[in-house]
Structure 1
Amino acid sequence: MSLSLKIKRVPTVVSNYQKEEAEEAGRRSGGCDRNCFNNCCLPGAKLPLYAYKGVDTAADEKALAELEDADIPMAFLDSLVLGEWEDRMQRGLFRYDVTACETKVIPGKYGFIAQLNEGRHLKKRPTEFRVDKVLQPFDGKKFNFTMVGQEEVLFQFEASEDGDAQYYQNAPIDIENSPNVVAINVSPIDYGHVLLIPRILKCLPQRIDHESFLLALHMAVEAANPFFRLGYNSLGAFATINHLHFQAYYLAVPFPVEKAPTKKITILENYGVKVSELRNYPVRGLVFEGGNTLQDLSNAVSDTCICLQGNNIPYNVLVSDCGRRVFLFPQCYAEKQAMGEVSAELLDTQVNPAVWEISGHMVLKRKKDYEEASEKNARRLLAEVSLSGERFQEVKALIFEAIFCSMNKTHITAQGLESLEEDVEVQSAEDLFGMKQEQGSHTAMVTGTHDCLVMQ
């Protein structure tokens, strides 16, 4: 007999039109009168369009520095996001004023940031959401981003056809090709909190592919603001909506993970991407940086995400430093939560450690937790997120095997090894593959015959 495991979780409302009832979605599919972002309301609609350069710009320090020196289009995209976001705030579209939320830096060596955001502590009737499957089919009966109001969408974000960045105040929406759009999150974590939704009308499930991640990198590069970071949560790692999207917002201080020391593992020769491992940080993770081109950096990270998805390993991604660095965190908190391995004290905080919390921005929903915030408490939460050392080594083996296969390589060349720093101990592909063969491959998040569900 199978055992049904359930987690009670408070969902985050990202749109003013977010509903639970499947029948409401069914009614809208036949047409509505509220100007939604679906086929019933889109014909004839127009939105601002930002057309980014779309060239395969080198992702190294010199090239990105040159891009940042340009006033257009870099500064323009940054001002566009902020200007449109401010406009929606003035129009009262947000559920609360995030600029009024208390924030402080927690004393300690990590400098974790604590924010009291009681507006995200909502009480709603629970709905079921699986946490034991990273890949799940899109379900049009549940809330998705085609149900948002057009007033919540800021602009379209597309590659320029002629290679030059351009802006159009009123551009038709290409329904047939499905636009990439940037929309507000009506329950913001911080200033300028937006959602990047690739090919919104294709209704893609929450899974990274090469095209979508390259789009996210382009947005980070084009914004050219080091305080603007993009994040991604997979299913099973506290994504709350199974419709492909990235999040982004401004935080005017470094994330603690951005200051964490790293140890170089290798340089992927074909991509020119340096891969490092976080050191002395509560959550084990990998850092990708550099690359011969932006496409190469994107491919290295996308190959990794596709590998994790295929092996049913939940993960979070942080795009940092204007697209220079990407942090990737395999995690297991929801698995432990479902198995009853997380303390009641942590569960009572109702903090779901997604990409922002893992990166060091602790979004707290109760005043008590904010007042008692300490580095010890933050580390205690993140310790439950991190994979064990042994499991992390196994996951690294899976990742490098996938990357090497993608590059049509089975090992790192001697030239690649020589490019590493002499004081770094490097694991060869043979070492990684051998480890994988010895330890085996975990393809399930929760072993056994459990039907693991989360109650939102």
Structure 2
Amino acid sequence: MAQRSNTPEEHRNSAKLPPRDYMPAVCAVNGELEANTTNDPSFSNKTSIKEFVYSEEDLILAEPLSEGGGCSGTETKPPSRFDITLQTGWLEKMALGFFRYNLGELETRILPGDFKFIAQLNIQRGLERRKPQDIQSIQQRFDPHQFNFNKIQHEEVLFQITKQPVRVEPHLNLEFKIQECKKTDQGERWPTSRNACGSAEVRVALSKAWKCSGVWAVINVSPLEFGHVLFIPDPALCLPQILTADLIQFGIESVLLSAQRGFRVGFNSLGGFASVNHLHLHGFYLDHKLFIESASTEPLCPEKNFHLLSHFPARAFLFYTNGHTLEELARIIQKVTDCLVAKNIAHNLFVTRGCAPWNPVNPQFNTGIRIFIWARKSSFGAKEETAFNVALCELAGHLPIKNQEDFSTITEASAVTIVQQYLLPEDEFSKLTTELVKLLSEE
């Protein structure tokens, strides 16, 4: 039976957000709105951007579940400071018309079947979404002449997120190394090239640079759900769409900053339906439980919290954490994604609250964070599907449908058929699994 997703106003009421009178004013410089009408990457340093500062104490870690609660995720909690800041800003931008369309109500169907896929009708996103860039390689370098986030309008920026304490190593000449990186020859690729830009030292330098300057939270002007934002490490660094350990850690921490179980974060690699080759994550609220949150798994390298999601149409590698030692976990996850980049294998990552993989249905176990990685076929030049594209949401079981006919007729079986066309063949996936287990076991 079709359901509808909450409207932005209903989200406001259910979350008990401040009334519109208390909404902060749109960022202004000299009392007036400023738009970035140039391609100057230093735009971020010339405008006034609100800042959201958080610390370890703001992370909402795993808690024991109520008796009989399992991992249902039905418990409601007051919104966190992060939720209020993001949602009020997002609603303000929607009211002021900075999106390409008013999201409105999303008609929603839970498809009958074992996996409870969530189909949502979102015609406008299919029509208004920015045309993806021409991508030829997972390792493709940043191209300043293509659209990138240095070219967005100032009004699209919600706030800048920084974490305390900021760790800085003053002996690193970051500016010199960054400028050298930007001068890299056009033929080189990040991060597998052996030039200066691909070196471990410069990757650390760039990472520390954006940790100092923070992550931008920017509205996705073609939203797929309520609160849909992009998390962008300092855009002026011009980083290509290749995951770093610091951004992985930030993605996990952003989910932990939210008190709402429905806040999810994800990443599309180049060739995995990323539309912009400029490093970013997606974040959004989805008030429906996903099958993968509590799906059973198989251990691969349990000492590294590395598991296999096998009882699901889209097999995935899974990491789990209760919210502690995130820096180390992010480093391990990056080893996996770096391996995929080196092999030119497209991939998608999805972060959500979920159950411990060793016992997903027993309420005595805590609920923590599940991080999924799908290694998949590349979609270079692939014709888009009429119903939905297969990216981070769709692989997780959330299907934004582009047209009314497909929304009305889609079944679990037909959705599975579309998704599985983009998965690696069985023999290739098995070989990759063996290699990743060996890689992590040798640490």
Same fold (TM over 0.5): yes
Q: CA deviation at 1:123?
A: 7.5
Shift in alpha-carbon separation, 1:57–1:117, aligned structure 2, 3 A: closer
d(CA) in 2 for partners of 1:176, 1:289:
24
Normalized against structure 2, the TM-score is what?
0.70
Letter paired with 1:197: I
Alignment of 1:185-334 (within 5 A): 185-268=220-303, 273-290=304-321, 293-321=325-353, 324-332=369-377, 334=379
- 2:219 aligned with 1:184, yes or no? yes
Whole-Å separation in 2 of the counterparts to 1:208 and 1:85 = 25
Checking the alignment, whether the CA contact within 8 Å between 1:61 and 1:324 is kept in structure 2 is no
Alignment correspondent of 1:450:
none
CA deviation after TM superposition for structure 1 residue 45, in Å: 2.2
Match of 2:127, SS state, is coil
CA distance in structure 1 between the partners assigned to 2:385 and 2:46 by the alignment = 48
Please name the residue that 2:156 is paired with.
152
Counterpart in 2 of 1:373?
A: 410
Asked whether the 8 Å contact 1:232–1:318 carries over to 2, the reply is yes
Contact 2:345/2:378 (8 A) holds in 1: no
Q: What is residue 145 of structure 2 aligned with on the other side?
A: 141
Q: Residue 34 of structure 1 aligns with which residue?
A: 35
Distance across 2 between alignment mates of 1:177 and 1:228: 25
Deviation at 1:161, TM superposition (A): 2.8
In 2, Cα distance between the equivalents of 1:114 and 1:371? 10
Does the 8 Å CA contact 1:283/1:387 hold for their aligned counterparts?
no
Please tell me whether the aligned partners of residues 210 and 233 of structure 2 are also in contact (alpha carbons under 8 angstroms): no
Q: CA deviation at 1:365?
A: 0.8
The one-letter amino acid of 2:217's match is V
- Alignment-mate amino acid for residue 289 of structure 2: P
Q: Do 1:35 and 1:150's aligned partners in 2 also have CA atoms closer than 8 Å?
A: yes
Whole-angstrom CA distance in 2 between matches of 1:127 and 1:56: 36
Quote the Cα distance in structure 2 between the aligned partners of 1:380 and 1:390. Answer: 19
Q: CA deviation at 1:43?
A: 4.8
Query: 1:152 and 1:308 mapped to 2: Cα distance?
Result: 32
Shift of 1:348: 5.1
Q: 1:177 to 1:140 in 2, by over 3 A?
A: farther
What is the deviation of 1:373?
1.3
How far off is 1:259 after superposition? 3.5
Cα deviation, 1:151-187, whole Å, max 9, x if unaligned, reads 1110111111389xxxxxxxxxx99954310000010
Q: Distance in 1 between matches of 2:422 and 2:307?
A: 20
Deviation of the 1:275 alpha carbon: 1.7
Matches within 5 A, 1:99-178: 99-122=104-127, 129-131=134-136, 133-161=137-165, 178=213
For residues 253 and 129 of structure 2, the distance between their equivalents in structure 1, rounded to whole angstroms, comes to: 36
Label 1:300 to 1:144 Cα distance change in 2 as closer, same or farther (>3 A).
same
Identity score, percent:
29
Is residue 88 of structure 1 aligned with residue 75 of structure 2? no
Between 1:139-148 and 1:395-404, the stretch displaced more is 395-404
Give yes or no for contact 2:301–2:440 (8 Å, CA) kept in 1.
no
Alignment TM-score, normalising by the size of structure 1: 0.68
Per-residue Cα deviation, 1:324-369 (whole angstroms, up to 9, x for no partner)? 110111011626x75xxx9xxxx55162200001111111111111
Contact 2:262 2:287 in 1 (8 A): yes
SS of the aligned residue for 1:46 comes to coil
Provide closer, same or farther for how the CA distance between residues 396 and 47 of structure 1 changes in structure 2, counting only shifts above 3 A. Answer: same
Q: Structure 1 pair 231/91, CA: closer, same or farther in 2 (3 Å)? A: same
Q: 1:202 to 1:41 in 2, by over 3 A?
A: closer
Cα–Cα, structure 1 residues 175 and 301, in superposed 2: closer, same or farther, change >3 Å? closer
Letter in 1 for 2:90: W
Conserved? CA contact 2:308–2:316, under 8 Å: yes
Partner of 1:12: none
Check conservation: 1:59, 1:294, Cα contact below 8 A.
Answer: no
Which stretch of structure 1 is more off in the superposition, 197-206 or 217-226?
217-226
Distance 1:367 1:60 in 2: 39
CA distance in 2: counterparts of 1:47 and 1:184, whole angstroms: 14
Aligned to 2:390: 353
Contact 1:179/1:200 (<8 A) preserved: no
Moved more, 135-144 or 394-403: 394-403
Going from structure 1 to structure 2, the CA distance change for 1:301 and 1:55 (only over 3 Å counts) comes to farther
Q: Is this contact kept in 1: 2:388–2:402, CA < 8 A?
A: yes
Contact 2:319 2:371 (8 Å CA) reproduced: yes
- Give the 3-state SS of the residue equivalent to 2:345 in structure 1: coil
Q: Take 1:124 and 1:46, find their aligned partners in 2: how far apart are those partners?
A: 27
d(CA) in 1 for partners of 2:88 and 2:315? 37
Partner of 2:364: none
Structure 1: gaps (5+ residues):
1-32, 63-68, 164-173, 408-456
In the TM superposition, residue 276 of structure 1 has moved relative to its aligned partner by: 1.5
Quote the Cα distance in structure 2 between the aligned partners of 1:56 and 1:90: 29
Aligned equivalents of 1:162, 1:205: Cα separation in 2:
23
After superposition, what is the alpha-carbon deviation per residue over 1:248-297, rounded to whole angstroms, capped at 9, x for unaligned? 100011123224221222322xxxx4221112211111111127511122
**2:142 is paired with a residue of what secondary structure?**
coil
Query: Any idea what the Cα deviations from partners look like across 1:407-451, whole Å, max 9, x if unmatched?
Result: 3xxxxxxxxxxxxxxxxxxxxxxxxxxxxxxxxxxxxxxxxxxxx
Q: Name which structure has the greater RCO, CA cutoff 8 Å, separation 6+.
A: 1
Query: Taking structure 1 as reference, are residues 397 and 199 closer, same or farther at Cα in structure 2, changes over 3 Å only?
Result: farther
1:362 is aligned, of 399, 418, 422, to: 399
Tell me, which stretches of 5 or more residues in structure 2 are unaligned? 1-33, 65-74, 168-208, 355-367
Letter in 1 for 2:340: L
**Greater displacement, 116-125 / 388-397:** 116-125
The verdict on how the C-alpha distance between 1:316 and 1:348 changes in structure 2, with shifts beyond 3 A counting, is closer
Indicate the SS of the match to 1:121.
helix
Q: How many Å apart are 1:54 and its aligned residue?
A: 4.8
**Structure 1 residue matching 2:248: 3-state secondary structure:** helix
